[in-house]
């Protein structure tokens, strides 16, 4: 499934260029992917699309430039409340087991670095829980993070992109 997701990301990195799921399935078949992998990837992508759309609807609108919008005062129309600086995400036993310590540590690293906001973190966790494998490998989690950025039409910072795409197996420690 992750090979299919990488192919989709590499070929449709501009989210608006990605065809509907049905047409995407035909293109993936033409590219030579296995039908089971394609089906698993399409189901996974449909869940990602749904989560991203629901989240974007619930996010507070960005204030026009020149006006200040208080993040501490939730609006009545906002479905998602901003996370307090003092809040703490507690992972369930199922999440800890399925994601593993290495993947959870990487999610924590991205959060601490300020590049994975809480609403995107929750989608990463949701999509990782929907992914096969236990625990989810770090490489697979990095693909999930890239796909979540892609679903929001955002490109990660260059250093984050390097961390997500870099093969750390051959790094030399200094």
pLDDT tens digit string along 4-57?
Answer: 988 988 888 765 677 888 898 999 999 999 999 999 999 999 999 888 888 776
The range of the structural domain enclosing residue 100 comes to 2-59+89-170
User: Would 46 be classed as within a structural domain?
Assistant: yes
DSSP state of 31: T
Supply the pLDDT for residue 156: 77
Q: What is the mean pLDDT of the chain?
A: 79
The two tokens of residue 78 are: 């906002």
Exposed e or buried b per residue across 127-154, where buried means at least 16 C-beta atoms within 10 angstroms of its C-beta:
bbeebeeebbeeebbbbbbbbbbbbbee
User: Would 16 be classed as within a structural domain?
Assistant: yes
Supply the pLDDT for residue 76: 39
Supply the pLDDT for residue 59: 57
Supply the pLDDT for residue 58: 58
Number of domains in the chain: 1
User: Would 159 be classed as within a structural domain?
Assistant: yes
User: Would 41 be classed as within a structural domain?
Assistant: yes
User: Would 78 be classed as within a structural domain?
Assistant: no
> Mean per-residue pLDDT for 112-132?
92
Whether residue 119 has pLDDT greater than 80: yes
The C-alpha R_g of the chain, in whole angstroms, comes to 17
User: Would 124 be classed as within a structural domain?
Assistant: yes
Supply the pLDDT for residue 134: 85
User: Would 71 be classed as within a structural domain?
Assistant: no
Q: Give the dihedral sign, CA 164/166/169/172.
A: negative
d(CA 30, CA 117): 36
Closest CA to 83 of 128, 114, 48, 45: 114
User: Would 80 be classed as within a structural domain?
Assistant: no
């Amino acid at each position: 499934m992750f090979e299919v997701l990488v192919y989709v990301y590499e070929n449709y990195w501009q989210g608006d260029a990605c065809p509907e799921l049905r047409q995407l399935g035909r293109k993936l078949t033409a590219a030579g992917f296995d039908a089971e992998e394609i089906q698993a990837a399409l189901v996974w992508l449909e869940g990602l699309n749904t989560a991203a759309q629901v989240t974007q609807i619930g996010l507070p609108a960005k204030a026009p430039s020149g006006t200040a919008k208080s993040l501490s005062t939730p609006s009545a129309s906002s479905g998602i409340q901003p996370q307090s600086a003092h809040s703490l995400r507690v992972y369930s036993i199922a999440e800890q087991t399925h994601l593993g310590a290495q993947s959870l540590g990487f999610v924590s690293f991205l959060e601490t670095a300020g590049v994975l906001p809480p609403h995107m973190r929750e989608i990463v966790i949701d999509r990782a829980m929907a992914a096969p494998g236990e625990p989810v490998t770090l490489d697979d989690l990095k693909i999930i993070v890239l796909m979540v950025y892609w679903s929001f039409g955002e490109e990660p910072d260059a250093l984050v992109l390097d961390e997500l795409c870099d093969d750390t197996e051959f790094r030399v420690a200094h």
